[in-house]
Structure 1
Amino acid sequence: MDVKSAFPNGFIEEEVYVRQPPGFESARFPDRVYKLRKALYGLKQAPRAWYARLKSFLLKSRFVMGSVDKTLFLLSRGGDTLIVQIYVDDIIFGGSEQISREFEMSLMGLEGTFVHQAKYTRDILKKFNIVDSKPMTTPMSTNTVLDADEDGEAVDQKEFRGMIGSLLYLTATRPDIQFAVCLCARYQASPRTSHRQAVKRIFSYLKFTPELGLWYYSESSQMLTMLAAVRKSTFGTCQLLGTSLVSWSSRKQASVSLSTTEAEYIAAASCCSQVLWMKATLSDFGLRFGKIPLLVDSTSAISVAKNPVLHSRTKHIDVRFHFLRDHYEKGDIDLVHVASENQLADIFTKPLEFGAFVRLRVFKV
């Protein structure tokens, strides 16, 4: 559900005054201002005030707030559970299967749920006039090398940023373009012709695959799996619940690594921190996990985590990344070697040739 005029429902404690809006000035008191009793859109206190009002209502209604995610509320009564997930003024309600056992119902998505943005994809293709371009089978060529290209011809920055923004919104259901989009997004400050060509190829790929999205099986197992991979300065991670991809990232490594082992170790640590947060969040839903497998295609990185002995390849690693070793010793995670050709996270770190790209795009752990 979507709450109508959500922010004005929030009460503010601060003393805030606003000018009379144009067209609504008081003829009797034209020089006066309004004192606010409720929040308004554009007011910095508005989101906090709205959340406080909604939280207060839910807690009074005997909901329990999530221990990790403070926008998650649960109400249990008998064998039923009502789940409320909040995102600003959008609220998602979910429930247990008890009600379907009591009443005959017509349920949609018995086998699973397919999430896609096909209409949005076609809309942005028309918006940026990519409709007549030649379709591409991959979002980025394996021969593509992007850099600042300071000697290249500059292009319209506003248009380039608009294209990047549209694509970033699409990555919510299209992890297959995540790496290419994030790589091109690094050059928004001073876009060149080479950068625009790379972005246009992504659009051409979308023309070839507008219907792709994410499929979530209704009967998927409740097992968490995480994968991490690195190529040069980019590391990619992804987390799966059963066979369903639920979280992923592709980003430039913030710190400089002096060896591949070091880079892989840091990427694995980042992946581990994300899945531990997910593990804690899912505990509010009553899901419990034992040792979570972390699939890494670097045997050296696995050895570093399992072997506390300091050597030349690990002496430069910041102390904060060694919590990976701590959680391995505690039994929270299990480091598992995976063959490079089965490393799903590779799709978030580098451009791939068509065969490998398609295989990883539909890969299941």
Structure 2
Amino acid sequence: MHEEVENFERNHIWDLVEPPPNCCPIGTKWVFKNKQGENGMVVRNKARLEGIDYEETFALVARLEAIRILLAFAASKGFKLQQMDVKSAFLNGFIEEEVYVRQPPGFESAKFRDRVCKLRKALYGLKLKSFLLKSGFVMGSVDKNLFLLSRGGDTLIVQIYVDDIIFCGSSHALVSSFAEQMSREFEMSLMGELQFFLGLQINQSPEGTFVHQAKYTRDILKKFDMGDSKPMTTPMSTNTALDADEDGEAVDQKEFRGMIGSLLYLTATRPDIQFVVCLCARYQASPSTSHRQAVKRIFRYLKFTHELGLWYSSGSSLSLRGFFDADHAGCRIDRKSTSGTCQLLGTSLVSWSSRKQDSVALSTTEAEYVAAASCCSQLL
């Protein structure tokens, strides 16, 4: 908290003023978070001062497939990805509106307790984009969180996810120079080689990069008391046909939704469970015993395969390919088809989906065309 307040004072975020007439200053509160590494140990304690009346916040958030593409690209080129964390919760940008907030709890001025803080800059607002563009970076045309810098024959790539930055380049000198510039310009902490990012465990080696969620898998098995369950070799039986099961016994909806939510995040590195998780997710409104049994089988499969993940080999080509397929009228409730697609960058799987189509296909050909359109959209 002291570090955060010192950052505010250093950046001259506000002026302490008498409250104007009819002023209702925004209340503030402290929000705390422990940032953990892949071994579960706390690597940093964070404190953020937030306005209680905030309705909207804006931060750069990269899509997971964009991060996977960067991982595959870096592995292909033999680049070593580095990670950097923003200490002071971003850069503060000037604001034009008159905004008053109460003094931070626990840090009220002893002499001017009745005064309020008139903001000169936003408490938190990422202005890193403008800085990178001024420094010669080019923003990605599709992924607005990706920035490229070409200098001589070398290239530097920067990907932003809220207050985490991952970057790599063809020149060690260029990468080091960027890290020093960011640390000098902003309150940043260099965390070294990328190993743990958004819950993904990342092992980089000369042969390639392995991305997995083994720790997360063990955590959710423990969370839902499935750690001692009997392992299964497949996530779903081939003769299983889920439907609404209106006559089945109802189960705890909150628990079922929690299990589905945990599994959906696991699909970030586990395409082998994508179809069955998305199939079970359709019945969150009124789950029954048969639906919970199907979900429990997925957990039993994870116990057998918790070390699986994605392998991105070095030296892989960068050709983009896509594959798709579709069943016809596979859903037993509304007879809609399900599209399955995947996209590869060389030999690296970077994107995939299993999704029920929006309309009822009148033929297998129509179902295939819908799946093809979805696959091509993702490729583009």
| TM-score range relative to shorter protein | 0.5 to 0.7
Secondary structure of the residue aligned to 1:214 is strand
Correspondence for 1:2:
85
- Are 2:360 and 1:256 equivalent residues in the alignment? yes
Correspondence for 1:91:
165
Correspondence for 1:294:
none
CA 56–258 in structure 1, closer or farther in 2 if over 3 Å, else same:
same
In the TM superposition, what whole-angstrom CA distance separates every residue of 1:301-355 from its partner, at most 9, and x where no partner exists? xxxxxxxxxxxxxxxxxxxxxxxxxxxxxxxxxxxxxxxxxxxxxxxxxxxxxxx
Letter in 2 for 1:70: K
Secondary structure of the residue aligned to 1:227 is strand
Correspondence for 1:76:
150
How many angstroms apart in 2 are the aligned matches of 1:84 and 1:264? 37
Give the CA RMSD over aligned residues: 2.5
Secondary structure of the residue aligned to 1:159 is helix
CA 256–80 in structure 1, closer or farther in 2 if over 3 Å, else same:
same
Equivalences for 1:95-244 in 2 at 5 Å? 95-96=169-170, 109-231=205-327, 232=330, 233-244=337-348
How many angstroms apart in 2 are the aligned matches of 1:216 and 1:33? 53
Secondary structure of the residue aligned to 1:132 is coil
Q: State the Cα distance separating 1:8 from its structure 2 match.
A: 6.5
Q: State the Cα distance separating 1:226 from its structure 2 match.
A: 0.5
Question: Residues 90 and 128 of structure 2 are in contact (CA less than 8 Å); yes or no, is this contact kept in structure 1?
Answer: no
Question: Residues 341 and 352 of structure 2 are in contact (CA less than 8 Å); yes or no, is this contact kept in structure 1?
Answer: yes
Letter in 2 for 1:266: V
- Are 2:369 and 1:265 equivalent residues in the alignment? yes
TM-score, with normalisation over the residues of structure 2? 0.63
Question: Residues 8 and 38 of structure 1 are in contact (CA less than 8 Å); yes or no, is this contact kept in structure 2?
Answer: no
Secondary structure of the residue aligned to 1:134 is coil
Of residues 25, 31, 54, the one that matches 2:128 is 54
Question: Residues 95 and 121 of structure 2 are in contact (CA less than 8 Å); yes or no, is this contact kept in structure 1?
Answer: yes
How many angstroms apart in 2 are the aligned matches of 1:268 and 1:138? 27
Question: Residues 91 and 128 of structure 2 are in contact (CA less than 8 Å); yes or no, is this contact kept in structure 1?
Answer: no
Q: State the Cα distance separating 1:151 from its structure 2 match.
A: 2.4
Letter in 2 for 1:82: L
Correspondence for 2:98:
15
Q: Percent identity?
A: 83
Question: Residues 95 and 122 of structure 2 are in contact (CA less than 8 Å); yes or no, is this contact kept in structure 1?
Answer: yes
Letter in 2 for 1:190: S
Question: Residues 267 and 273 of structure 2 are in contact (CA less than 8 Å); yes or no, is this contact kept in structure 1?
Answer: yes
Secondary structure of the residue aligned to 2:285 is coil
Secondary structure of the residue aligned to 1:2 is strand
Q: State the Cα distance separating 1:264 from its structure 2 match.
A: 0.3
Letter in 2 for 1:245: L
CA 15–183 in structure 1, closer or farther in 2 if over 3 Å, else same:
farther
Secondary structure of the residue aligned to 1:9 is coil
How many angstroms apart in 1 are the aligned matches of 2:110 and 2:304? 60
How many angstroms apart in 2 are the aligned matches of 1:31 and 1:148? 60
Letter in 2 for 1:204: R
How many angstroms apart in 2 are the aligned matches of 1:63 and 1:183? 42
How many angstroms apart in 1 are the aligned matches of 2:379 and 2:255? 36
- Are 2:113 and 1:39 equivalent residues in the alignment? no
In the TM superposition, what whole-angstrom CA distance separates every residue of 1:39-93 from its partner, at most 9, and x where no partner exists? 34xxxxx5xx31xx10111122121222222211111111111111112211111
How many angstroms apart in 1 are the aligned matches of 2:91 and 2:249? 48
Question: Residues 224 and 242 of structure 1 are in contact (CA less than 8 Å); yes or no, is this contact kept in structure 2?
Answer: yes
Q: Which runs of 5+ in 2 are unaligned?
A: 1-83, 175-192, 194-202, 331-336
Q: State the Cα distance separating 1:245 from its structure 2 match.
A: 0.4
Q: State the Cα distance separating 1:19 from its structure 2 match.
A: 4.7
Q: State the Cα distance separating 1:206 from its structure 2 match.
A: 0.2
Secondary structure of the residue aligned to 2:295 is helix
Letter in 2 for 1:184: C
